[in-house]
Amino acid sequence: MQGKFEMSMMGELSFFLGIQIKQRKDGTFINQAKYVNDMLKKFGLENVKPQVTPMSSSIKLDKDEEDKEYFWNLRRELGLTSLS
């Protein structure tokens, strides 16, 4: 590969494309904790307490067209983290 591409050793890999990588003797481990925390901060949810379900089933919701785009973006971006 070095013959075809310019390469350099920059130290141990710890982040790649938003994925945290930990290399140990017993294996290589990856997670997206930083990405999830960044998304929580982006949507102002970093101090929210974890819940068993996304929300209480007893809450009555009203139609609010103004926040529709915000919640669709939130759902899409947070949903992507569950795929990996």
DSSP 65: G
Tokens of 40: 């929580």
- Annotated domain spans of the chain: 33-81
Spell out the per-residue pLDDT of the chain, length 84, in tens: 778 888 777 777 788 887 888 888 898 888 888 888 888 899 998 898 877 766 667 777 677 666 777 777 777 777 765 554
Q: Token pair for residue 46?
A: 């970093």
Cα–Cα distances in angstroms (integers) from residue 12 to residues 8, 49, 75, 82, in the given order: 12, 35, 34, 27
Alpha helical stretches, state H, 30-67: 33-42
